Structure 1
Amino acid sequence: MNGLTPVNTPATPDFPGWIPWTEQQWQEWLSRSRLYNRRLTELHNAGDFETRNEYINARSTHWGRLKEWLKVLSYGKCWFSEVRDLYSHYDVEHFRPKAKSKSTDGTERDAYWWLAFDYTNYRLCGNVGNRKKGNWFPLRVGSLVSSFQTQNEESEEPYLLDPADADDVSLISFDEEGKAVPSPGATEWETMRVEETIKRLKLNEHNDLAEARRKVWLDVSTEIDEYLKHKARCNNGGNPVAREKVRAHCVNIRNMTLPNAELSSVARWCVMFRNDPQLSRLVA
């Protein structure tokens, strides 16, 4: 994943900037979700899976209404690629697929239809990655598998990294060539997850995205070099001009690593790559 930023999806909408709705409108959305879920359960229990899936697809505008909220949570950035426009138009994608779930070998199983109208299963994704992902959601061999009868999604071991999970976000890093790579120290399973996610979401295959990362890395690296140069001049005695330059470059570095900046994770990795404690404090 291309610079995933941890996103704290709230359990309730009681925080600033949640969504430009009134409380009544939000409750109406939740009420409609419950209504849809009851109908899905009826269709599922009747064994009419085809109609169940058609029912979900015919109501895609329901989750589409939350797109602006999802954009607020990520400062307008795609949750997977961490860019705004470069990864194409946004989709409200279901992290766990709603119709069919496809494994690494192409085999399919029934998906997580009961999460079709559950906003905690929504992620904001540019359609470059979402089109490639499709129904892809394989689990580790031997993983528990959640079902409608036994819903235990938290116990599953999926390949796909989740941008709303801070632990998953920490598994991916970047290099000076603009490539997404496994973080140093990743285990074999963690490395497999990162590599499969990168491939499935076209996080390196999309050339413009890799080039944008490379440019961010270069820009941050240039700022760091200037910061270190002027800092060295300050250490040799009083130099107000050099001190002002140091402050200016500190601000530039910090701004590129803030969550609201595009590809801020790339910028943070560039800083960490220098392995300089004083630089690291700039982005703490």
Structure 2
Amino acid sequence: MSYEFIDVGEKRRRSDDDDARTSTEKLPADMMRVIFEKAMCKERENLCATNKNYSTYCVNDDHERKCRTPRLLIEQFKRTVEDEEKANFEAMSELAALEDVNDEHFEALFTIAKTLPVYPLQDFTKNLGVFGDKLPEQYFEAHVVNPVENEAAETFTEEGNRAAAIEALGTFGERGAEHVKIAIEAIYSKGYNVQDAAVEALKMMGPHVHENIKKDLRERLDRAERKFNESNTQEDFSVMKALEGVVTAWEQTSEAPR
């Protein structure tokens, strides 16, 4: 049995040509990476070829997306970070969409994340919500909860990274709601960056936040207003406005009590 390989670069340059998808120009052996067992599609109908940029295309375009295996997506994510110093969230989203994503893939992904520069790491953390319930508990604890609750958590020593973890809470709905009091404390007592992140997290949680926490926030807002009226300082004003913003956002939802 013989297979045709598409040169990915050639395909991109000749995207308007009718014969682009049937090009028989093969990738050099040293540019090919075998993905899983012989890099076959799930249907075993086409053999996939991968170029040095870790982008895979099948001869049959109908199989193109199905051939983007988790291992390949991780490699694509890693290469993008190395080449451009920014996280490839398209790859993260595609990985999250797969049915067979498992602990091995998450382990590889988070191993890569530990090598990220500060700002890509913050973006990576904030976007963990794309995995939703698929994110195993140990990674949720290590990369979202621990950085929120422990400012000295590994790889999250800067305030911006802690703020990113707080903001990530908002993308996990009820799963993150049990940790929301930490975000409230951040609003109430921390600096600008963390306050802003906590407001965003609490807004995203919306109806998932329990009624007693909403009540707690309103009481804190009342206290913050009284404190600002007494002190008239910028710090107390910032805390008051942060609390006011998130309480207002909740009251605009249909679930909020009147």
Task: Give your verdict on TM over 0.5.
Answer: no
Indicate the structure with greater strand content: 1
TM-score, normalised to structure 2's length?
A: 0.27
Q: RCO higher in 1 or 2 (8 Å CA, sep ≥ 6)? A: 1
Q: Tell me which structure has the larger Cα radius of gyration.
A: 2
Between Structure 1 and Structure 2, which shows a larger proportion of helix residues? 2
Query: Which TM-score applies when normalising by structure 1?
Result: 0.25
